[in-house]
Amino acid sequence: MTNARSHDLFTRAQALIPGGVNSPVRAFKSVGGEPFFAQRADGAYLYDVDGNRYVDYVGSWGPMIAGHAHPQVLAAVERTMRDGLSFGVPNALEVTMAEVITRIVPSCEMVRMVNSGTEATLSAIRVARGATGRSRIVKFEGCYHGHGDSFLVKAGSGVMTLGLPNSPGVPSALADLTLTLPYNDFDAATKLFDEAGGEIAGLIIEPIVGNANCILPREGYLQHLRELCTKHGTVLIFDEVMTGFRVALGGAQQRYGIAPDLSTFGKIIGGGMPVGAYGGRRELMRQVAPAGPIYQAGTLSGNPVAMAAGLATLELIQAPGFHAELERRTHALCDGLEAAAREAGIAFVTTRAPGMFGLYFRDGAIESFDDAKASDSARFNRFFHAMLERGVYLAPSAFEAGFVSSAHGDAEIAHTLEAARAAFATL
């Protein structure tokens, strides 16, 4: 496997782009080595500028649930772009997008399109604060909600990877308004709300944590948070940027049967284009400008080409049985990886939801951020590189979830498991 072209590009990039990348985790800092540069992608595969091919379990960090360069998505983009790239006045595709999202996710009675998951979460807490007149928010250790100031407190994944508890540049006056809770701890949440419930505008959570590897909620945990928020007049926000339209058509809220007050989305609804959205109860969303006084805007929000890519992707995932099949493939992958590790005598466990998974080099249940942190990350890093050399691209950090798409067929999974057997043997 050669990487001369990627190496050359990375050298040039490092002189001009901080760390050589436009988003930190891409730099491979956590796993070591240098990133490869993409030439193109197709289905389950990424091809780099040196001609290497990888089965891709990152999927552009989530959007590519139907595989890369899906012909229906590309056709929708091509058709739409011929009419112009951006109008700055409303267009019909935005209305269709709002209709589709509110139909698939019933807790979203109204929705506003933005350009990233970060914008969606920032806007959602502004609505929570504006609507309640309160300032404090609650987030969970290891949950990542984008790079907004208020969220860069114990924020998981990219931030964890760099070993930063919080980011410099976030004023303490603002960080102090963010309270953090351990995920899956019923009593800690009850206690915090007993003490400060009346001051908390919003509680934001990844209902399945995908930024501390992959941690599923304990039975009844999300319901417990729903009840606490209802009792204390706090806006419950599900950050479904990662889980939305993935772990079920209607996201984690459908899977667990909980209706949050607000939800945030991204990734899949853009089909690979820069898109985010937030939505929820009509009474809250009506307070957003220009319907109400809570300001939020965007030059490119609702961009027609982005809407076309997102709508085409949403159409694909509404095919009957799409998520059941995604779940079957995720299980096949995770069961196969666990079996391969067992054969090699390696302590290893997976967590999974349809279309997403976590890999841990340790035994036992994974229910908290501390459980996730106890994984042997040095071993993960060696495994990551051993897989990469064998043409399988896993997320380049022990704190990121992996993604399976509908393009990951039996052949790709078989290839992955063969690579894993060889990789485990090298550990």
Q: Which residues bind ligand PLP (CB under 6 A)?
A: 61, 116-118, 121, 144-146, 206, 210-211, 239, 241-242, 266, 276
Please, which residue, 251 or 336, has the CB nearer to ligand PLP? 251
Please, which residue, 24 or 266, has the CB nearer to ligand PLP? 266
Q: Least separation, in Å, of the C-beta of 143 and ligand PLP? A: 7
Question: Do the Cβ atoms of 53 and 45 come closer than 8 Å?
Answer: yes
Question: Do the Cβ atoms of 233 and 272 come closer than 8 Å?
Answer: no
Please, which residue, 25 or 417, has the CB nearer to ligand PLP? 25
Q: Least separation, in Å, of the C-beta of 210 and ligand PLP? A: 6
Please, which residue, 239 or 371, has the CB nearer to ligand PLP? 239
Q: Which residue is nearest to ligand PLP (CB)?
A: 117
Q: Least separation, in Å, of the C-beta of 308 and ligand PLP? A: 19
Sign of CA dihedral 77, 83, 86, 89: negative
Count of CA atoms in the C-beta half-sphere (13 A) of 246: 34
* First-last CA distance in the chain: 20
With 0-12 CB in 10 A as exposed, 13-18 as middle and 19+ as buried, what is 227?
Answer: middle
Token pair 């035994």 is found at 363
Token pair 């485990």 is found at 424
Count of CA atoms in the C-beta half-sphere (13 A) of 216: 15
Please, which residue, 352 or 390, has the CB nearer to ligand PLP? 352
Q: Classify each residue of 343-381 as buried b or exposed e, where b means 16 or more C-beta atoms within 10 Å of its C-beta.
A: ebebebbbbbbbbbbbbbbbeeebbbbebbbebbbebbb
Pairing of strands 178-181, 136-140: parallel
Please, which residue, 380 or 403, has the CB nearer to ligand PLP? 403
How far is the C-alpha of 196 from the C-alpha of 314, rounded, in Å? Answer: 40
Element containing residue 133 per DSSP (H, E): none
Is the previous residue joined to 290 through a cis bond, with omega within 30 degrees of 0? yes
Q: Least separation, in Å, of the C-beta of 243 and ligand PLP? A: 8
How far is the C-alpha of 90 from the C-alpha of 161, rounded, in Å? Answer: 40
Q: Least separation, in Å, of the C-beta of 251 and ligand PLP? A: 11
Please, which residue, 136 or 147, has the CB nearer to ligand PLP? 147
Q: What residues are paired with 204 via a beta bridge? A: 237
Element containing residue 352 per DSSP (H, E): strand 349-353
Q: Least separation, in Å, of the C-beta of 399 and ligand PLP? A: 11
Contacts of 74 (CB under 8 A, 6+ apart): none
Q: Least separation, in Å, of the C-beta of 401 and ligand PLP? A: 8
Q: Which residues are catalytic?
A: 144, 239, 267
